[in-house]
Amino acid sequence: MPAHYIPYKNTGYFSKLICDYLTEDESLKTFYNRFPNLENFKHQLTEKQKNFTDEKRHLLAKRLMLQYGDNSLSQSTLSNIDLLREHNTFTITTGHQLNLFTGPLYFLYKIFSAINLAEQLNQKYPTNHFVPVYWMATEDHDFEEINYFNLFGKKVKWNREASGAVGELSTKGLKEVKELLKKEFGESENAKKLVSYFKDAYTKHDNLADATRFLANCLFYHHGLVIIDGNDKELKKCFIPFAEKELTENLSFKKVSETTEKLTHLGFSEQVHPREINLFYLKENLRERIIEKDGRFYVNETDLSFSKEEILNELHDNPERFSPNALLRPLYQEVILPNLCYIGGGGELAYWFQLKDYFNKVEVPFPILLLRNSVLLVSKMLSEKLQKLNIEIDDLFLPQHELITKHTREISKIDIDFSQQKEFLKQQFKDLYELAKQTDASFLGAVGAQEKKQLNGLDNLEKRLLKAQKRNLSEELDRVKDIQNQLFPNQSLQERQLNFSELYLEYGEGLLDTLKENLQPLNVNFTIMELE
């Protein structure tokens, strides 16, 4: 089975907001800058070029080299960092949490989306350079979201107490996880490679940010990926003017609230709720919200407080202690990167749509928003089983009870579909309604009650017959359920449940090569791919 595509709206797993965006619905056009197609990047890079200084470029390249430290870099990554100094170089950025051992499978899809789009743009616009960037979410503080990954239907978990920004967490306790993985993975060559990746990343680096950088650098070594940690004092100096406005004018709260109201008026949900101040105060083992009350600034859940003058002095003296939240982080990213496009999942893009008016107000170009590739990977064996059962792969996206009912009707030698009988019955009752009108209109209620009773009777009979037929065909239907459960663990998308290691054990580096070769970032459809 070659790569196969279906519209996102047909999967049942994506919001109306995202589906409307992908069809370029008119109602959403004021909430983004440009739609992701190759031609629009020409206008985007012209706009960004006017807005981004050479001084920032040189600072960015310098800080990146310092962040990489003694990591071994490929020539393509070194070249890309050096090219960032040039006025005609731009970034294509995706971001992800510091999930243990990359977390869910879509980590790979995000980054290959960025890599492949950068390559496409380099071909389309050869006088410019385009660099794929992975933004590590080192300043997040929700440890419970990142301290595990799923393997063979079980959680592999890093158990420890944690507080503050996760990037600064020590890797203490991960040697025990490595020993567990050695047992789970087995003794194959691919298993040994996975254990080596884990060991070199998590037991040879002191904190989670360094470990994650090492691992991502290994996995994407040959593709020129540049990895950035925004938790950097020198880079945060560039953000001081915007943080000042945040503290003194509540600017993001005002503009984002206005935009959010427009979105909710159109029937879309609010993804992230703006606060009066969308900054955290960051120190060792601490990342808490900054709250202003009666002219004084408090750090939530602590005894720390500042006058207006004191907090502005603190910002200028120690900008690294001010951490943007989910709504402000996109602006920080666009201030320090010569970025053209942000690639994210549906939930991420939903909060970017809340930000367009705010970006306009602070005069920072709003990037092109691209939904990352979503993929269902199907083994050759499962693909052959589906063919034997005569099941279309698209049907597996149905809720299981709908899939089983549909397949029962298709393979049953008895036609258990009473649609025709119900239509015939409704037609008969039309005549009865007419007869009641001509004789005594008070009988109309009785006729309606009788119609409802008869239709309910047919419904119940149909359901009972279907249930009986499902029992008769249970052996084949169980095979259908088993295939769907393998491809949609916990009735969820595979990419949100599986870790890459489970597939790497079988396919090795070929898994990464296949994804690199087949993912098409500008194809706005869900991808189904067979693994050989």
Strand 286-293 with 296-299, pairing: antiparallel
- 134 pLDDT exceeds 90? yes
Question: Do residues 290 and 281 lie in contact, with contact meaning Cβ atoms separated by under 8 Å?
Answer: yes
What burial class does residue 423 get, using C-beta atoms within 10 Å of its C-beta: 0-12 exposed, 13-18 middle, 19+ buried?
exposed
- Position 493 scores a pLDDT of 98
pLDDT higher than 90, residue 19? yes
What is the mean pLDDT of the segment spanning 137-151? 96
pLDDT tens readout for residues 273-320 = 999 999 999 999 999 999 999 999 999 999 999 999 999 999 999 999
> What's the pTM value of the predicted model, to 2 decimals?
0.91
CA angle 272, 101, 516 (to 5 degrees): 85
Q: Residue 165 class from Cβ within 10 Å (0-12 exposed, 13-18 middle, 19+ buried)?
A: buried
Q: 1 falls in which pLDDT band (50, 70, 90)?
A: low
DSSP-derived secondary structure for 176-243: HHHHHHHHHH-SSHHHHHHHHHHHHHHTSSSBHHHHHHHHHHHHTGGGT-EEEES--HHHHHTTHHHH
**CB proximity list for 255: less than 8 A, separation 6 or greater:** 357, 358, 361
Cα–Cα dist 61/360, whole Å: 27
Helix boundaries (H) for 23-156: 40-51, 54-68, 75-83, 106-124, 143-146
Strands ordered across the beta sheet of 296-299? 305-307, 296-299, 286-293, 279-283, 322-324
What residue segments make up the domains of the chain, in order of their start? 377-501
Of 76-85, 368-377, 453-462, which gets the smallest average pLDDT?
453-462
pLDDT of residue 465: 67
The residue to which tokens 């590590």 are assigned:
136
Report phi then psi at 428, rounded to 5.
-65, -40
| Span 424-474, pLDDT tens digits | 777 777 877 777 777 777 777 787 788 788 777 776 776 676 676 767 777
CA 29 and chain centroid, separation: 22
Q: Which residue has the tokens 């090492």?
A: 214
Over the chain, what is the mean pLDDT? Answer: 94
Q: What pLDDT is recorded for position 416?
A: 66
Residue-level pLDDT at 415: 65
Residues 6+ apart with CB under 8 A from 363: 51
Residues linked to residue 299 through DSSP beta bridges, in sequence order: 290
CA atoms of 108 and 516, how far apart (whole Å): 9
Helix, coil or strand: residue 438? helix
At CB < 8 A and 24+ separation, what contacts does 345-351 make? 345/106, 345/110, 345/371, 345/372, 346/14, 346/15, 346/17, 346/18, 346/371, 347/271, 348/95, 349/18, 349/21, 350/15, 350/17, 350/18, 350/268, 350/269, 350/271, 351/271, 351/272, 351/326, 351/327
* pLDDT (0 to 100) of residue 41: 98
Alpha carbon distance 189, 177 (integer Å)? 19
- CA 480 to CA 515: how far, in whole Å? 27
Beta strand 526-531 with 375-379: parallel, antiparallel or unpaired?
Answer: parallel
Question: Cα separation of 131 and 273, whole Å?
Answer: 32
**How far is Cα 102 from Cα 151, in angstroms, rounded to an integer?**
12
Beta bridge partners of 159: none
Cα–Cα separations (whole angstroms), residue 239 to 147, 197, 282, 415, 426: 30, 35, 15, 67, 68
Cα–Cα dist 5/21, whole Å: 18
What is the rounded CA–CA span in Å between residue 425 and residue 350?
47
pLDDT tens, residue by residue, 373-420: 999 999 999 999 999 999 999 999 999 999 988 888 887 766 667 677
d(CA 234, CA 157) in angstroms, rounded, equals: 34
Q: Which residues pair with 324 in a beta bridge?
A: 279
